[in-house]
Amino acid sequence: MTSESARSRRRPGGRTGRVRAQVLDAVRAELAERGYDGLGLDGVAARAGVHRATVYRRWRDVGGLLADLLEATTSDDDWQPQDTGSLQGDLTVLNQENLAAMTAQPSIAAALIAASFRSEEAARGLRRLWEDRYARCEVIVGRAVRRGELPAGTDARVLLVAATAPLYHHLVLLRTPPDPDLPGLAARAAALAAFAGAFVKDPPVAGAPG
């Protein structure tokens, strides 16, 4: 977040770009101080020193602000999943990063998930974010296939969802306290299932009628 924020302020862009940077910095600050439920367009406009009408016209609602903040944070970042040399290691680190993002104070990811149930803008922003992140993670599966850890034809997306879903299930839906063992446990379970061929697309059916 911090490095992106610094980058966006250095970015060329004239008045529109400056207004966006001021508004998104204000969203970050309001979220940190007041949390999701204290976030409002009026407060953001006042803190940013930007006309209320501009903020309402361009971002529409709190979901729109959060979605744009995430867009700014992720669209030009160069995040890639870490290469630890093993499938289980890569998935563990990915889950640890997701846990850190979801439990950060403030967590923009957690705020956007909450907002996605109230704002169509936030829901769209969140779908784009998930899609972007899962697409970037597919390299984890490609590397494991090349290393011979996984059978060719393994469906990267299904494997990645299996590895990452338990963490979100606990944090977002079950609302259990964050468990530091869960990233590794969920990664190990998904890796073991994958080694056993659980995620191979269209496996040949033995003895199927020709």
Q: Note the residues at the interface with a copy of itself (CB under 8 A).
A: 113-114, 117-118, 123, 126-127, 130, 158, 161-162, 164-166, 168-170, 172-175, 185-186, 188-190, 192-193, 195-199
Three-class DSSP category at 200: strand
Question: Closer CB to a copy of itself, residue 27 or residue 112?
Answer: 112
Query: In the complex, what is the shortest distance from the CB of residue 106 to a copy of itself, in angstroms, rounded to a whole number?
Result: 16
Query: In the complex, what is the shortest distance from the CB of residue 185 to a copy of itself, in angstroms, rounded to a whole number?
Result: 6
Q: How far is CA 193 from CA 5, 127, 150, 151, in A?
A: 39, 26, 10, 12
- Report the C-alpha dihedral over residues 189, 191, 195, 198, rounded to 10 degrees: 60
Question: Closer CB to a copy of itself, residue 139 or residue 193?
Answer: 193
- Give dist(CA 56, CA 33) in Å, integer: 21
Query: In the complex, what is the shortest distance from the CB of residue 32 to a copy of itself, in angstroms, rounded to a whole number?
Result: 20
- Give dist(CA 29, CA 20) in Å, integer: 14
Question: Closer CB to a copy of itself, residue 5 or residue 89?
Answer: 89
Query: In the complex, what is the shortest distance from the CB of residue 108 to a copy of itself, in angstroms, rounded to a whole number?
Result: 15
Cis peptide before 183 (omega within 30 of 0): no
